[in-house]
Amino acid sequence: MRDRELLTEQVLAVVETIPPGRVMSYGAIARAVGAVGPRQVGQVMAYDGGGVPWWRVVRADGTLPAHLAARAGVHYRRERTPMRTDGVRVHMAAAQWSPKPSSLP
């Protein structure tokens, strides 16, 4: 089992590297920090993600949990995040971002 504090620190550090208007999925962040899955990233974001740009972390289909969607929409419009025509889902092909390994904390 991975040390919770270290995992939290690593996940939040990756989230802070996501540029405005771009997103990463929970799974992509899990792969970036290694040896964890998307659910662990989701747990970190749920409990400790309020101080980082949480709206830049989405499900693989470009959505967020329903209770966050309206608040995230404000950020998406301000950052000009590419959205699907439904206005609810991020356009993953256009907005997905992958950090260079050398830029990871």
pLDDT in tens, 83-97: 999 988 999 999 999
Please name the fold of domain 4-97.
Arc Repressor Mutant, subunit A (1.10.10)
Q: What is the pLDDT of residues 12-46, one digit of tens each?
A: 999 999 999 999 999 999 999 987 899 999 999 99
For 79, counting Cβ atoms within 10 Å of its Cβ (0-12 exposed, 13-18 middle, 19+ buried), the class is middle
- Angle, helices 38-48 vs 4-17, to 10°: value is 90
Tell me the whole-structure pTM to 2 decimals: 0.91
Is residue 104 very low, low, confident or very high in pLDDT (cuts 50, 70, 90)?
A: low
Helix (H) or strand (E) holding 29: helix 26-33
Q: Where are the domains of the chain?
A: 4-97
HSE of 50, CA atoms in CB hemisphere, 13 A: 2
